[in-house]
């Protein structure tokens, strides 16, 4: 029985070292690693140990960018796009997971996505382009090539999201404004599909928030195991 337990522990240790070497423990928690307890690491992150592990998502990601590059690359399927959205969200102070959720709902993370908007006369009234589906009327000073550039599209899209959120008291209203325009939200003429659009994005954000916290907790627990065997 002891031999089996030892094999299991060694297996977990090898997996932890291989998968999580990029995750950083706070400097204040790195003394006396042999006596690590998970509560000590939580305190180093100013985490209340009486409730589930939780930090502001942007703070977690910002403190452990290298670890979360893989997390978001797995989500997006492209490391460059994942890094660009993650870094621009942190730079502009927008919730990282909200940005990813918006981009998914707008384009399914396709940087070359193009959507033609048809008016009541069945004519093309405008065109949405790129990861954040930037509208040709709103961004009339940019060429199609410029709007399909990943860095520019992400920068402009997240800036527009931030502006929409700043204009309203709720995330839901900010998302509806991003999709339908601020006037429609102000006069309460938002269509049902736009309300569903906002709900879908917020649902995905909640899921990503949970996944990020779970990933964080797993990393902390694995680092405790690694430190214990040092």
Q: Of residues 42 and 103, which shows the higher confidence score? A: 103
Q: Left (φ > 0), alpha (ψ -120 to 50) or beta: where does 47 sit?
A: beta
Residues 186-205: pLDDT tens digits?
999 999 999 999 999 999 99
Give me the domains of the chain, ranges plus CATH numbers: 56-219 (1.10.530.10)
Q: Is the dihedral of CA 127, 129, 133, 134 positive or negative?
A: negative
Two structure tokens written together for 159: 């800036």
pLDDT, tens digit (0-9, with 9 covering 90-100), for 129-182: 999 999 999 999 999 999 999 999 999 999 999 999 999 989 999 999 999 999
Residue with tokens 């939200």: 185
Three-state SS at 39: helix
Confidence at residue 221, expressed as pLDDT on a 0 to 100 scale: 67
Q: Is the pLDDT of residue 226 over 70?
A: no
Whether 107 contacts 210, CB under 8 Å: no
Report CA-CA distances (Å) from 50 to 13, 53, 169, 229: 27, 9, 31, 26
Among 227, 214, 206, which Cα is nearest to 60's?
214
Query: When comparing pLDDT for 41 and 217, which is higher?
Result: 217
Q: What is the largest CA-CA distance in the chain?
A: 77
Q: Rounded CA gap, 222 and 229, in Å?
A: 11
Does 42 score more than 80 pLDDT? no
pLDDT for residue 14 is more than 90: no
Name the residue with tokens 């690693």.
33
The CA distance from 119 to 45, in Å, is: 52
The residue with tokens 């070292």 is 17
pLDDT at 195: 95
Listed in order, strand segments (DSSP E) in 28-182 are 114-118, 124-129, 134-135
Query: What are 195's two structure tokens?
Result: 């309300």
Query: Which of residues 58 and 39 earns the better pLDDT score?
Result: 58
Query: Could you tell me the pTM of the whole model?
Result: 0.76
End-to-end Cα separation, the chain, in angstroms: 23
């Amino acid at each position: 029985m002891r031999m089996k337990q030892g094999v299991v522990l060694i297996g977990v240790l090898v997996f932890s070292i291989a998968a999580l070497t990029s995750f950083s423990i706070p400097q204040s928690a790195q003394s006396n690693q042999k006596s690590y307890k998970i509560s000590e690491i939580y305190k180093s992150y100013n985490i209340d140990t009486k409730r589930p592990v939780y930090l502001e998502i942007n703070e977690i990601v910002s403190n452990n960018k290298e670890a979360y590059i893989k997390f978001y690359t797995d989500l997006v399927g492209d490391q460059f796009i994942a890094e660009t959205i993650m870094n621009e969200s942190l730079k502009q102070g927008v919730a990282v997971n909200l940005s990813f959720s918006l981009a998914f709902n707008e384009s399914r993370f396709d940087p070359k996505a193009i959507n033609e908007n048809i008016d009541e006369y069945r004519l093309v009234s405008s065109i949405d382009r790129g990861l954040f589906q930037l509208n040709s009327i709103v961004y009339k000073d940019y060429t199609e090539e410029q709007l399909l550039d990943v860095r520019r599209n992400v920068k402009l899209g997240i800036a527009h999201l931030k502006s929409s959120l700043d204009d309203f008291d709720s995330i839901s209203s900010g998302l509806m404004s991003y999709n339908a325009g601020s006037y429609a939200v102000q006069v309460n003429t938002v269509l049902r599909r736009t309300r569903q659009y906002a709900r879908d994005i917020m649902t995905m954000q909640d899921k990503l928030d949970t996944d990020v916290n779970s990933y964080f907790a797993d990393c902390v627990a694995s680092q405790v195991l690694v430190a214990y065997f040092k």
